[in-house]
Amino acid sequence: MTLNVLVIGRGDSPGTQVTNGHTLEFTRHGGVPPDFLSLQQYDFVFMHLGPANPEAQAAIATWSSQGWGGKLIGISGGDVPVWSEKLAIPTIEGMANRQNLYDLHWATVRSDFGGDAYELASLLNQEQCEVLTSLAILCQGYLAVHAASAGEAALAHAPEEVSAALSLMGWDALNDKIRRNEPEAVLPSNLGLVLTEVVHPGWWLGAWGLSGVLGDERWAALADSLEKECAKQGAAEVPKEIGDLLDVMRPVVADSAREFHEIRPVTVSRAYLAITDLFSK
């Protein structure tokens, strides 16, 4: 059963579906005291806590007395006002407009979500995905180095995944700008020279501060974080393409000087495409 959510204080709009089938409905005001809106038909209600909705404080008190307090989440365009700290409802800051609400992490809220308002706010207002984000940045670095050293002629025959990843990360657009001599479009001059480094798993592990030695507990922590971040993005498990890239760099023997398999452009491209897919949900 998907959630039916009412947002008060961010304009009027009929129900719009977000990821996982949840519905957001918008209305400007919570009503006029003592006849505030009925919250009966809604699973959760996001109430704007700001001067544009002066009815908020009294409305929340009334709804709480009617047994609907557990449905309430306070939102604010800037910081949540000090007076709202006494309300004992979860809050989400930075919701300046309707788009901000659509952009919340609805992918993390399963269609059969059965938690309370605090759990919902926590899922929607979650922490950043540090590992996935950093992996995306490393993929961009690797692929740019690969492209710079391969040259345009070779890239014309690159596997489809490599072309797609390069295009998505902005490589084609950047090179178009460079050809047009746009001033901000520049590439580091030594890119092709670091190819031997970025194909080595040690470059990736070193970027995360990992040693590459079997038994490094930080590797396990990183893999665990990655799994949680993928779940937050709505994936039941770490996508295979991302797992394949991590497998190549996974420490397997208690010797950091062991021979590694070179990391291939196709492996990185597939992982990058999987990350962009996760972030687009």
Residue (3 or 49) nearer to other proteins, CB: 49
Beta carbons of 9 and 75 less than 8 angstroms apart: yes
Residues 95, 104: Cα–Cα separation, whole Å: 9
Residue (45 or 169) nearer to other proteins, CB: 169
228 in contact with other proteins (CB under 8 A): no
93 in contact with other proteins (CB under 8 A): yes
Please enumerate in sequence order all residues whose Cβ is within 8 A of that of 260, keeping only pairs 6 or more positions apart, or say none: 200, 201, 202, 248, 249
Q: Interface with other proteins by CB under 8 A: which range of 21-29, 60-68, 176-184, 256-264?
A: 176-184
Residues 223, 251: Cα–Cα separation, whole Å: 12
133 in contact with other proteins (CB under 8 A): yes
Helix (H, G, I), strand (E, B) or coil at 70: helix
Q: Which of 35, 38, 12 is CA-nearest to residue 24?
A: 12
Judged by CB under 8 A, the residue of 77, 195, 231, 256 near other proteins is: 77
In whole angstroms, the minimum distance from the beta carbon of 207 to other proteins comes to 4
Please enumerate in sequence order all residues whose Cβ is within 8 A of that of 29, keeping only pairs 6 or more positions apart, or say none: 8, 9, 53, 55
184 in contact with other proteins (CB under 8 A): yes
Which residues here bind other proteins, judged by CB under 8 A? 50-52, 76-79, 93-94, 96-97, 100, 103, 127-128, 130-131, 133-134, 136-138, 140-141, 144, 168-171, 173-174, 176-177, 184-188, 190-191, 194, 197, 203, 206-209, 222, 272, 275-276, 279
